Structure 1
């Protein structure tokens, strides 16, 4: 076994998020030594090495999503094992450019999210403004991202406040809720409430707004929305 793929973690789970690597490239590991900690929709799981050997490479960084069957670790070949890899291993090639006349990334096919197309100066601007360029939609030809696109996103993010990644259990909950929204007929349920004991002149709307404000002060994430 040269490549160790993400194993079936049970309960029908098809993917996991990398939380922390416990090894590095070049490390010698023993069988059952913990390689990586991942988080699924159910729990945080430590994945052990199925064999002893030397780690040649790890696939994925903390925060990345790995699907069952995709490679996690590559071991250094000891010369006695088959070099055949079942399936096709895709490793994204990175291109570098130092002048603005070069465009990093190819044109993407319609309906797909391909490589980001932007000049080095635009990428540098995104890094300086702390904008995730992978989430920016380019307004130029074939999706080319301009400096104006980066500045527009930076302004929006400044106005709406800091963003936090949707990870772990919350991420899986959001996916399940979105799936339900798209496939289940929406239903509105109404009920009556007896307010006879409220003081005269009490405004139910104002009282409700005060309750919402109190809730948001206690849990600020209530005053948020899902971006994309």
Structure 2
């Protein structure tokens, strides 16, 4: 007796309502184990690998790749063994009848042995399920290879009762000769962010030779494929192909996943919080000199030091001096409230292949300057690699967006929902500037602070922006004000 169970799409983040099916790792008829990765999903915040909570045989995939599924909707069904019975195997799903009698030796050969991949030894405890969406390591589990003769039957009717077929006695389970390759897990080894990058750039992963662990393909392999084959351009992605097709004047790109979440959040913020933006040009010549000196210190030997580090430190100091700017607006049963945060979860806007993400450094106010530098580096690298977790992307209190890396002076940033202000840091460029009463060429940047006028009035907003500017003009003030 087998019991068919359905796995429903879980909420892997805080308040997740839907997710897109990115990649299935199993097919009907496959043997699965507890905690084996079965599917990759893309939420509004991150790409997450979901492990299977059951052990058994995949009966049916209830969603296809590219579908957007609501939380709580079944996405896969698995045939599991009833309590006290052996788990169903892929071979059991094949509609082949058993002869009335078989020699003992042959019967023994037909029984899958414990040493075979995907089997669980009777004397070993089974693994316990982990929190869905977390803690699953690639390669930690295995699945039973499917035999060519069984795959069609298992896919067509995994739970169908056996039919009589006396003319075709069952064959013992034996290894195929090396000259006959088995259709076992021919997927190219590559992490989800790498697959996403290759898809966006139109690179066929199956044509690449991986340089990573166990031959996996890395981001560098994908980039090398673009640079080493200039004569033959890579196949364009779907959106690019539509735009470049002869006679096509328009293209339509579905808005979903991160892009959908960004659009919803920006519209909500722009039409909920009354935005005010102020600008300030600052001579940051001393900040650039301080950045170069920090790079020479042994405390910063293993981290990347950029002007953004000192901007972040200046923001943290300014928020300590002006705590009202580190607040949020809350609507409660007793009316509206301003919630002042005595901690700073500092968000850094990062442009990634999946769109603009804003991961944040938790309790950034408690970090030393080297600790802050390391945290910022890890934060941005994780986001760009597509590994940022929902926890990394939620709970921010203040955001910095470094638009200067794109070669622009500044902009009018939209406040991250749930926060009171956001600072845009423009490019640093040489400009004529009056310094100590004389005209000189100095390093100058433009800062833009957007804030929620319900929480921050013009005086407070101007004071915060002026404090940040003064500290970037003379980094010694950070020591005096800390």
Question: Under TM normalisation by the shorter chain, which class is it?
Answer: 0.3 to 0.5
TM-score (norm 1): 0.43
Is the radius of gyration larger for structure 1 or structure 2? 2
TM-score (norm 2): 0.22
